[in-house]
Each structure stands twice: as structure tokens, then as C-alpha cells.
């Protein structure tokens, strides 16, 4: 090797990297850039327009839209007990949404929140049912087990991507079904209780404590709120958060800055999956108190909409989680009072997401016509702690 000459840095990536940058990877970059920059007004407009577009469906079903929406609102916020139920469901969406957002912000499109939710519920159940230690310690250990099970399940997705080059969209989606089938096998076999399809019920002393008497609001909501603050600090005030945002915004810039993208993805997968697993353990210890073979009906997939509507930011996800929690809890009361199928709550959720994404598309087209450049995103600025050094 010659002395005195710096190594030559290629001006353009090798063909394989160039092809990757212009294919699926480039599409992921555009999605991250688009979702993280919409205005609050755009999100509010999507919600209001979805409520309007659902009116013909109410009319077609023979229901009074005013009565239906009144029942929806009353079932969500009409009593302290209803509010507690909304916050419990919002807490699950919040932890799932944070886990999904952290992954997507790094460009790691892990759609395995559903499977990680199931594995987290399994981990929390195993500790809470089969360990007879001090109650407070058992509760903490159950939550840690839920986080760990979810993290390891998500870590498997990252391992497949890094080692075997399996795209995370495919790997995480397939592992969702494996997780659901695994829990189904266990609840019908090795951990089945007096009837097939469920585990033993958690002892009362291993439940998360209730915060407000007369409601089912449990202490898990405090974990969700704490997670919002911690994830915000991680993304905006730490070196790791800077690496996450840089890899997600511009992988080439991250590579030239000396950031190991694979190492970032590995850590992000563990953190994101852990949060999703924690959501599962939270739901078991706080609300369900037993692991069923039909534990979740697709909550992990709905949480993707929560993360996107929240613009992948902790504060936005918290608001979106409350909105979706209210829609799901209020829909049951809407069915009981206005005789409207509760599935219409899911219809409204879907309309909100579709309209939100359509709004982003039109906004980007408008920016192009106005002369704004929609080019590849620029790497974000370093956190303040680094900028001063």
C-alpha cells in the first residue's frame, strides 16, 4: 500500500447499492420523509372527512347518523368508566405505535408488531402464572419478560435481514403467523387450563393496580406515558437517536459518516419489538388477566395506522392512540344504542388512514409544482449534545 495518498472514495455507489437505492429502499425513504412532515391540520382534516364519508354507510344501514355518533362519543367519554376503557386501549396502541415508529424512523419497516404483541403476552403470562415470588417483583418481572420476548422475536427479523438478506416486510409478516400459531398450540396444549384455548388465570396479586376505583384504568397507562418521554429523548437528544434518524433519512450519508447501519437496525429491532412485547404483557396484566388463543384481533396491524397518523413522533402517536382507542371502545356502545355494527368503527379508522395518505400524496405533488424539490431526504442535524463538541 502506498504511503501519503488518502484512500479513494467512490463518487457513486457500486451497481448493487445503486440498484437498491432506486428500488424498494428508495420507496421506503420516500415514505419516511412523507409521513414525518405532514401538518397537524392535515391530520385533523383526515379525521373530520372520514366522519363525513361514513355518513352514507350509516344511512344505508337505517341508522340515524346523529344518534350513532352521539352513542360513539358517549361510549368513549360519557363516563369515567368509559374513559378508563379508552385509555387502556390507547395504552396498548401507544406502546405498539412507539415500537413501530422507532423501527420505521430507521428505515426498518418491521410490520411484525402483531406477532411481537402475542409473544410479549406469552412472556408476561408465563412469569405471572408460574412464579410465586413477591407480587410486586412478579409484576415487574412479567413486564420485563414481555419486553424481552417481543425484542427477541423482532431481533429474529433483523437477523434474517442482515444475515440472509430477507426483506423485513416479508420476514416480520410471516413471523406474525408463527407467533399466533405458537400461542395457539401452547394454550391448547402445554399451558392449557380447565378448558382448551386459554392459560391459567393470573392470580389477583399479579394484576397491575387500578388507578381509579370504579374503573378498569390500570397503572399500565403510566408506563405508556413514560415511554413517550423516553422515546422522545432517545430520538432527539442522544447519539443513538441521531443515528436512527440519519439511517432512516439518508443511508448513504450515514455510511459516509461512519454509522454502521446494520448495527443500528439490530438495536432498533430489539427496542421496537420490546415495546410491542411490553404492550402485550401490559394488556395481560392490566385487562385480560388470562392468555386466550384469540388474544388479539389484529391490534398490531391497526397500530401501524396509529404510528403513521401520529407522523412517527411520540406526541403525535399519543394523540392518535387516544383517537383510535375512543373509536374502538365507542363502537361497542354505538352498536348497542344505535343498532349500528361495531365494525363501522374499524371502517372509520381505515378511512382516516387512507385520507391521511392521500393528503400526503397531494401535498407532495403540490410541492413539486410549486418548485420545491422532493429529492432524497437530507441527513438530520446532530443532537445538541454533539453539536457543542
For position 17, what pLDDT does the model report? 43
For the four alpha carbons of 347, 348, 350 and 355, in that order, the dihedral sign comes to positive
Condensed to tens digits (0 to 9), the pLDDT of residues 113-145 reads 999 999 999 999 999 999 999 999 999 999 999
* Sign of the alpha-carbon dihedral angle for 48, 311, 28, 272: negative
Q: Would you list the domain boundaries of the chain?
A: 31-387
Contact between residue 51 and residue 43 where contact means Cβ atoms under 8 Å apart: no
Q: Strand, coil or helix: what is 296?
A: coil
Q: Would you say residue 153 has pLDDT above 70?
A: yes
387 vs 235: which has the higher pLDDT: 235
pLDDT at residue number 290: 96
DSSP H stretches of helix in 202-342: 220-237, 239-249, 251-256, 261-283, 299-309, 314-338
- For 368-385, the DSSP string reads HHTT----SPPPPPPPHH
| Angle subtended by helix axes 299-309 and 314-338, to nearest 10 | 130
* DSSP of 86-124: HHHHHHHHHHHHHHHHHHHHTT-----HHHHHHHHHHHH
* Per-residue cell: 226: 413514560
**Burial call 211-240: b when 16+ CB within 10 Å, e when fewer:** eeeebebbbbbebbeebbeebeeebeeeee
What is the structure's pLDDT at 384? 55
**Size of the chain, expressed as the number of residues it contains:** 389
CB 154 within 8 A of CB 276: yes
Q: Write down the pLDDT at residue 341.
A: 84
Per-residue cell: 378: 437530507
382 contact partners, CB below 8 Å, separation of at least 6: 242
Judged against a pLDDT cut of 70, whether residue 94 lies above it is answered with yes
Read off the pLDDT of each residue in 39-60 and give the average, rounded to a whole number. Answer: 86
Has residue 2 got a pLDDT over 60? no
3-state secondary structure of 212: coil
Angstrom distance (rounded) from CA 319 to CA 42: 14
Partners of residue 292 on adjacent β-strands: 198
Q: Which of 71-85, 340-354, 373-387 has the lowest mean pLDDT?
A: 373-387
- pLDDT confidence of residue 28: 72
What pLDDT, on a 0 to 100 scale, did the predictor assign at position 42?
78
Gap between the Cα atoms of 120 and 143, Å rounded: 8
Q: How far apart are CA 173 and CA 179, in angstroms?
A: 10
290: burial class by Cβ within 10 Å (0-12, 13-18, 19+)? middle
pLDDT of residue 38: 64
Third-level CATH fold of 31-387: ABC transporter involved in vitamin B12 uptake, BtuC (1.10.3470)
Is this structure's pTM higher than 0.75? Answer: yes
Q: What is the pLDDT of residues 207-250, one digit of tens each?
A: 999 999 989 999 999 999 999 999 999 999 999 999 999 998 88
Query: Distance of alpha carbon 125 from its chain centroid, rounded?
Result: 21
Amino acid at each position: 500500500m502506498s504511503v501519503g495518498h488518502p484512500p479513494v472514495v467512490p463518487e457513486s455507489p457500486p451497481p448493487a447499492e445503486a440498484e437498491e437505492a432506486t428500488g424498494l429502499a428508495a420507496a421506503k425513504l420516500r415514505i419516511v420523509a412523507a409521513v414525518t412532515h405532514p401538518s397537524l391540520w392535515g391530520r385533523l382534516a383526515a379525521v373530520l372527512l372520514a366522519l363525513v364519508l361514513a355518513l352514507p354507510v350509516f344511512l344505508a344501514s337505517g341508522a340515524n347518523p346523529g344518534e350513532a355518533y352521539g352513542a360513539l362519543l358517549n361510549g368513549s367519554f360519557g363516563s369515567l368508566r368509559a374513559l378508563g376503557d379508552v385509555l387502556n386501549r390507547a395504552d396498548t396502541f401507544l406502546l405498539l405505535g412507539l415500537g413501530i415508529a422507532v423501527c420505521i424512523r430507521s428505515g426498518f419497516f418491521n410490520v411484525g408488531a402483531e406477532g411481537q404483541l402475542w409473544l410479549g403476552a406469552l412472556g408476561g403470562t408465563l412469569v405471572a402464572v408460574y412464579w410465586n415470588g413477591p407480587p410486586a417483583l412478579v409484576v415487574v418481572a412479567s413486564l420485563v419478560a414481555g419486553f424481552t420476548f417481543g425484542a427477541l422475536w423482532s431481533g429474529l427479523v433483523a437477523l434474517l435481514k442482515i444475515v440472509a438478506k430477507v426483506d423485513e416486510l416479508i420476514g416480520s409478516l410471516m413471523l406474525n403467523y408463527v407467533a399466533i400459531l405458537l400461542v395457539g398450540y401452547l394454550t391448547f396444549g402445554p399451558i392449557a387450563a380447565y378448558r382448551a384455548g386459554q392459560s391459567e388465570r393470573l392470580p389477583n396479586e399479579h394484576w397491575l393496580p387500578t388507578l381509579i376505583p370504579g374503573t378498569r384504568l390500570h397503572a399500565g397507562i403510566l408506563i405508556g406515558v413514560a415511554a413517550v418521554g423516553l422515546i422522545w429523548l432517545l430520538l432527539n437528544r442522544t447519539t443513538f437517536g441521531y443515528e436512527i434518524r440519519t439511517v432512516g433519512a439518508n443511508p448513504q450519508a450515514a455510511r459516509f459518516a461512519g454509522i454502521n447501519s446494520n448495527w443500528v437496525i439490530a438495536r432498533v429491532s430489539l427496542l421496537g419489538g420490546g415495546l410491542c412485547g411490553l404492550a402485550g404483557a401490559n394488556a395481560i396484566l392490566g385487562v385480560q388477566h388470562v392468555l386466550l388463543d384469540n388474544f388479539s384481533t389484529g391490534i398490531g396491524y391497526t397500530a401501524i395506522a396509529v404510528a403513521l397518523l401520529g407522523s412517527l413522533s411520540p406526541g403525535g402517536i399519543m394523540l392518535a392512540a387516544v383517537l383510535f382507542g375512543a373509536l374502538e371502545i365507542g363502537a361497542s356502545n354505538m352498536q348497542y344504542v344505535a343498532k349500528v355494527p361495531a365494525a363501522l368503527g374499524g371502517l372509520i379508522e381505515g378511512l382516516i388512514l387512507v385520507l391521511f395518505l392521500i393528503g400526503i400524496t397531494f401535498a407532495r405533488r403540490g410541492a413539486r409544482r410549486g418548485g420545491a424539490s422532493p429529492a432524497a431526504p437530507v441527513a438530520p442535524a446532530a443532537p445538541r449534545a454533539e453539536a457543542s463538541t
